[in-house]
Amino acid sequence: MPADLVATKRDGHVLIITMQRDTKRNAVDRAMADQLDVAFNELEDDSALWAGVLAGSSVAFSAGSDLKSEGDYYTERGGEYAIIRRQRRKPLIAAVEAMALGGGMEIALACDLVIASETATFGLPEVKRGLIPACAGLFRGPRALPLNIATELILTGDSISAQRAAELGFANQVVPTGTALEAAKALADKICQNGPVAVQLALEAIRASVATNDELGWTLTEKARTAVYASEDRTEGVSAFFEKRAPQWTGR
């Protein structure tokens, strides 16, 4: 297994997790999912760690799924990308530089707080490939953003800027380019000044209360995903992506 796809660094009570697959814009495949799983397990299982920061690079936060992996990025404790379905009690802050698209935005949606650099962008472009956001974007997107805005992102595949994401309440802070990790670490340190038991129980209550309809969301997402994957348009969309051409949709 490649040893350098994910790096971890302990800084006081904070674990900094950095995705390092720059050549693929931090798209997640089997090997990267497994390394992310190890890092997130460390964060949850080590009582000396009270908060985490998840970062990408100046190239990308994450482009989501590596399409060549054909969906093989699921872990037992974390689900997709080792994070999407994970039961967590410790705060996790996304430090987003550059793009967080598709599953990359869904990873950010799975975090508790988002720090974005001025050049960060967020989007769910799956429909442009004949696909749908299948990693909770269909229900976490409308939860984190106004319904009409989330619907527009999902149906058009367009992106929004970091500033727009902050105006809409999705990004907590917008910071100068290259400083998202530093700002996220500062926020994590601020959280760690508080009682860890109280922080963890408060976060657990927040996450449980807003996730009351998640089971329905997953059921409806799976129904849509199954239909999409059986369509001719899905095959055409993925082929067009790899062949770097415009797709020829048939509506079938």
Q: Answer positive or negative: Cα dihedral of 229, 235, 241, 245.
A: negative
Would you state the pLDDT for residue 115? Answer: 98
Domain ranges of the chain: 6-209
Would you state the pLDDT for residue 194? Answer: 98
Catalytic site residue 106?
A: yes
Per-10-residue mean pLDDT of the chain, 252 residues long, equals 85 98 94 97 98 96 90 95 97 97 98 98 96 97 97 98 98 98 98 98 96 95 95 91 91 92
Would you state the pLDDT for residue 242? Answer: 87
Would you state the pLDDT for residue 67? Answer: 82
H runs (alpha helix) in the chain: 30-45, 103-110, 137-144, 147-156, 162-167, 180-192, 196-210, 214-229, 232-243
Given 106, 118, 152, 222, which residue is catalytic? 106
Pick among 1.25.40.340, 3.90.226.10, 3.40.140.10, 3.40.50.10470: CATH of 6-209: 3.90.226.10
Given 44, 80, 97, 126, which residue is catalytic? 126
Would you state the pLDDT for residue 68? Answer: 85
